[in-house]
Amino acid sequence: MGSIEVTKSDIKLYENIHGTIKTARADVIKTVNQTMVLTYWEVGRYISEAVGDRADYGKYLLKYLSKRLTKDFGEGFTAVSLRNMRRFYQQFPIRSALRSELSWTHYRTLMRIDDEKKRNYYLRGCAESAWNTRLTNALAFK
């Protein structure tokens, strides 16, 4: 079998396939991130509604849920993580207002900003200017 010369159309075909795969992978990552954000918001809502103002019950419930969820789903469901999900729901109570451009890491960073106006400023900046989480963290906590 002889050597075959690569043509411009071969290169163009490769570039089209490459672009399609790259776009698909980026879309999958976005979908996974958005699904995680919405899931964590729902978990936070469930916990917040169950606990209410009962702090002692909240401590018990977080330990109980953490143990069961970790057994069923693996790491990522510590009492601290569940507390973050509850706080997420409390700080961003309107599900439809969540920004699909932002990851769970963005939201975890933004939740550390106590001032609601400042938090909303950085929320908009993250979403509208496509700030990555490192930049968000650097700007919000300089």
pTM beyond 0.95, yes or no? no
Tell me the average pLDDT across 102-117.
Answer: 92
Computed on alpha carbons and rounded to an integer, the radius of gyration of the chain in Å comes to 21
Chain mean pLDDT for the chain: 92
23-78 tens-digit pLDDT: 999 999 999 999 999 999 999 999 999 998 888 888 899 999 999 999 999 999 99
Q: Report, as an integer, the average pLDDT of 102-116.
A: 91
Confidence band, pLDDT 50/70/90 cuts, at residue 1: low
- Comparing CA positions, the residue from 21, 77, 74, 9 lying closest to residue 46 is 77
CA dihedral (79, 41, 94, 105) positive or negative: positive
Say how far apart CA 104 and CA 10 lie, in whole Å: 40
Give the residue, 141 or 118, on which the prediction is more confident: 118
Q: Are 91 and 45 in contact (CB under 8 A)?
A: no
